[in-house]
């Protein structure tokens, strides 16, 4: 069955960095657009970044441009999110997602930015 397993979340101080990873299985990873979303308490889930099937095209939310980088490895079926210069407002549960007509979701990983 389809599985998306996120890892790498945790507590970090403002200005710090974290790298999230998502390991995918159960579908043809290389033909799916892969995305990272996040949901903060009391807010709707929002797109953070996505990468096309080849990784050649990426899109970022304005709030993370220049700080976050999405990358994928189609040989390893993984997609990462490098997060630098983290801010308290980046605190959220981060979800990995795969889409190609239908969308799959991971279980999420908590990122907390606080001093």
pLDDT digits (tens, 9 = 90+) for 41-97: 999 999 999 999 988 899 999 999 999 999 999 999 999 999 999 999 999 999 999
The per-residue pLDDT for 14 is 98
* pLDDT, position 26: 96
Q: Binning pLDDT at 50, 70 and 90, where does residue 19 land? A: very high
Question: Residue 93's pLDDT is what?
Answer: 98
The strand pairing partners of 79, in sequence order, are: 22, 72
Token digits of residue 100: 């190609």
Per-residue confidence (pLDDT) for residue 89, from 0 to 100: 97
Torsion angle defined by CA atoms of residues 61, 64, 65 and 67, in that order, rounded to the nearest 10 degrees: -160
pLDDT digits (tens, 9 = 90+) for 32-43: 999 999 999 999
Task: Please report the pLDDT score of residue 72 as a whole number.
Answer: 97
pLDDT tens digits, residue range 87-104?
A: 999 999 999 999 999 999
Q: How far apart are CA 65 and CA 51, in angstroms?
A: 14
pLDDT computed for residue 56 by the predictor: 86
Helix, strand, or coil here: 4?
strand
Q: Of 85, 81, 77, 78, give the one whose Cα is nearest residue 94.
A: 81
């Amino acid at each position: 069955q389809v599985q998306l397993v996120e890892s790498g979340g945790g507590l970090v101080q403002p200005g710090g960095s974290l790298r999230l990873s998502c390991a995918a299985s159960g579908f043809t990873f290389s033909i799916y657009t892969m995305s990272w979303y996040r949901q903060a308490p009391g807010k709707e889930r929002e797109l953070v970044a996505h990468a096309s099937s080849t990784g050649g095209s990426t899109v970022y939310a304005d709030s993370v441009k220049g700080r976050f980088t999405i990358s994928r490895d189609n040989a390893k079926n993984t997609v990462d999110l490098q997060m630098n210069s983290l801010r308290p407002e980046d605190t959220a549960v981060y979800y990995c997602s795969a889409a190609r007509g239908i969308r799959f979701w991971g279980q999420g990983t908590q990122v907390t930015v606080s001093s």
